[in-house]
Structure 1
Amino acid sequence: MSTLLLLQVMNGVQFGILLFLVAAGLTLIFGIMDFINLAHGALYMVGAYLMATFAATTGNFWLGLALTLPAMLVVGLLLELGIFRKLYQRPHLDQVLATFALVLITSELVKMIWGAAPLNVPMPESLSGSMPLAGPMRFPVYRLAIILAGLGLALGLWYVIGRTRLGMLLRAGASNRNMVSALGVDISRLFTVVFAFGAMLAGFAGAIVSPILSVDPGMGDSILILAFVVIVIGGVGSVRGAFIAALLVGIIDTVGRIFGPMLLKMAFDPAVANQLGRTLAPMLVYLLMIAILCWRPNGLFGRSHAK
C-alpha cells in the first residue's frame, strides 16, 4: 500500500508540474494585466500539435522541442499584438466572450490543419526506460524528467521575478499598474513580454506532455479549468502560490482517484464504492479550493492590489 501511495504521489507531482507550467503564465497574465484569457488552454493544445509536427518533420524529439518553443513565442506575440491588446481596457465579460470565441476558432483550425484524429509523439529513446522506485514498483524516466524540468523552470522564474529588474517591474505592475506607468515604464511592452512568455510556457507544457498523452483538439479544456483552480488557490499574480497550489492539486487529484474508491470499499459494497469514488474524486480539488478560500479569501499567497 505504501509503495502504491508513493507511486501515485510521484504521478501527482508530475501532473502538478504540468499544471504549474500552464498556470504560471496564466497567473502572470491575470495578476498583472487583469486580463481573463480563456484561450490559454488552446495555447497548450497548439504547443502539443506544433511539437507533433516538428518532431515528425525532423525525426528528432529534441529538435522538435527546440523549434516548438520559439514558435509558441511568436504565436503569443502575434495574438497579443493582433487581438488581446485591443481587449485590455474592455470589461471582463468582453474578454471572456472574445477569448472563448478564440478557443472555438482555434479548435476548428486545428481540426482543419491536423484533423480530428489523435496524434502521438514518440518518446525520446534516452528517456524511454524506467527506474526502480520501491519494491517491484518502477517510475518512468520520462515522467521524472518532466518533474526535473518543471522544477528547473520554477527556480528560473523565482530568480527572474525575485532577483532581476524585469521581475521588479512585474511585481510592481501586479501591485499598482498605474503607478508603474506614471514612472515611465512602457506598460504595453511589458504586457507583450508577459503574454508571449506565458504562451511559451503553456506551449512547452503541451509539448512535453505529448509523448505520454494523445494530442487531440480538446486536450486544453480540462487543464485550463484546473489551471484556474490553481491560480485561485495560490493567489492571483503569485508564481510561488501557483507552484505550491499546482502540486497540491496534482497530488490530491491523482491520489484521490486511486485511493478514494479503495477507502470507500470499507463502508460500501465494492460496486457502489467504485461508482461513488469515480463521482467524488474529481470534486476533491474543488473542495480544497473552497476550504482554502474560506480560510484565506485571496488565496495562499494572494493579496489585494490596486489596478
Structure 2
Amino acid sequence: MSLSLLLEQILNGLQLGVMLFLMSAGLTLVFGVMGLINLAHGSLYMIGAFAAAAVAGATGSFLLGLGAALAAAAVAGVLVETLVIRRLYARDHLDQVLATFALILIFSEGTRWLFGSFPLYLDIPAPLKGPVTFPGGFAYPGYRLAIITIGLAVALALFWLIARTRVGVRIRAGQADREMVAALGVNIARLYTMVFALGAALAGLAGALVGALQSVQVGMGEPVLILAFVIIVIGGIGSIRGAFVASILVGLTDTLGRFLLPLAFGMVMEPSAANIVGTALASMAIYILMAAVLVVRPTGLFGAAT
C-alpha cells in the first residue's frame, strides 16, 4: 500500500463527508428546530440532482445547473412545508413518518413521469475534469477537490449564519423554546418555512454535486437519507457542529474501512475470503461507530441533554 493511495482514500472520505454534511445539515436543523421527522429529505436531494442535470444538459452550463438545483429544491421544500408539513407539527412522530413516506412515493413517481425511468448524466465542468497535482507528484481529481472546497465553504457560511446573525439567533431560540419565541413576536410559521427551505436547498446542492460523479436516477436519495440519519444521531440532534464532525467521521470511516479492512484481513486469510469479510465488516463500520458513540454519549457528540 503506497502513501499516495492512502492519501487518495483519505481525500475520498473527506469528499464523502462534506457531501453528507450538506445533506444532514438541513435535516438536523429541521429535526432540531421543528421536532419533525422528514423522510422526504432524500427526495429533495434527488430533485436537486434532476434539476441540475436537466438544466445543465439544456444550456451546457454547470453553474446554471447548480443554481437550478438550489432553486428547485428550495421551492419544493417551501411547497412541502406549507402544504403538508405545517399540518404535522402538532401530530405525533408516527403521523410524520407516514406522511413524509407518502411524499417519497409521490416525488419518485412524479420524477419518473417527468423525466422517464432512464437515468440522466451530468457532465463534470471542463476546467475540473483533469487532476490537480500536489507537490511530490500526488494527483487528485479536480472536481472532487472542488466538492470538498464547496462543502467546507458552505459549512463555514452555515456556522456564521447560525452563530452570528439575527436569523441564526431566532433559529437557535426557536429550537430552545418555540412558545417563548412566538410570544416575543417572531413569526414562527415563517421561521419554520425558511429553515425548511434552507435545508431543502442544501440537500439539492448535495444532489447536484454528486450527480456529476454518478448517474442521476429515481430513488437515489434514499440510501443517502439513511446515512444522514446516522450522522444526526452521532452528532446530536439539532447541532450543526455535530453534523459536520459526524459527517467527516462517517465519510472517513466508510471510505477507509472499505479500503483498509480487506487489506488487513488479507494478512491472515486468502484474498477472496479477505475481500468478502472485509467488505461485509466495512459496510457495518458506520453503524458500529454510531453504537460506540451512543454508549459513551447517548445524546450524540454535541447533543444537548434533555
Q: Alpha-carbon deviations, 1:104-135, whole Å to 9, x = none? A: 12111111111222211111111111012576
Cα distance in 2 for residues equivalent to 1:31 and 1:73: 19
CA deviations 1:79-128 (Å, max 9, x no partner) are: 11111111111110000011111111211111111122221111111111
Contact 1:298 1:304 in 2 (8 A): yes
User: Counterpart in 2 of 1:80?
Assistant: 81
Q: Partner residue of 2:72?
A: 71
- Counterpart Cα distance in 1 of 2:152 and 2:203: 15
Q: Within 5 Å, which residues of 2 pair with 1:131-280?
A: 131-133=132-134, 137-280=138-281
- 1:236 aligns to what SS in structure 2? coil
Q: 1:35 and 2:36 equivalent?
A: yes
Q: Once superposed, what is the RMSD of the aligned Cα atoms?
A: 1.2
- The CA distance in 2 between the partners of 1:182 and 1:176, in whole Å, is 10
1:128-174 Cα deviation digits (max 9, x unpaired)? 11012576642110110111111111110111100011111111111
CA distance in 1, matches of 2:69, 2:39: 21
Does residue 289 of structure 2 align to residue 288 of structure 1? Answer: yes
Secondary structure of 2:172's counterpart equals: helix
How far 1:258 sits from its partner (Å)?
1.1
The 2-side partners of 1:187 and 1:294 are apart by: 35
Query: Which ranges in structure 2 are unaligned for 5 or more consecutive residues?
Result: none
In structure 2, distance between residues paired with 1:5 and 1:178: 51
Contact 1:292/1:299, CA 8 A, preserved across alignment: yes
Tell me the secondary structure at the aligned position of residue 13 of structure 1: helix
* Partners of 2:15 and 2:147 within 8 A in 1: yes
When structure 1 is superposed on structure 2, of 179-188 and 50-59 the one drifting more is: 179-188
In structure 1, give the amino acid aligned to 2:131: S
Return the alpha-carbon distance in structure 1 between the equivalents of residues 240 and 108 of structure 2.
28
Q: Which residue of 1 aligns with 2:12?
A: 11
Matched-pair contact (CA < 8 Å) for 2:47–2:72: no
TM-score of the two chains, using structure 1 as the length reference? 0.96
In 2 relative to 1, CA 222–133 (structure 1 residues): closer, same or farther, beyond 3 Å?
farther
Structure 1 counterpart SS, 2:251: helix
- The one-letter code of the counterpart of 2:228 is A
**2:48–2:68 contact (8 Å) kept in structure 1:** no
2:21 maps to which residue?
20
- Structure 1 residue runs without a partner (length 5+): none
8 Å contact from structure 1 (residues 7, 133) kept in 2: no
* Range moving further from structure 2, 267-276 or 242-251: 267-276
Asked if 1 retains the 8 angstrom alpha-carbon contact of 2:265 and 2:274, the reply is yes
Structure 1 Cα separation of the partners of residues 202 and 107 of structure 2: 18
The one-letter amino acid of 2:299's match is N
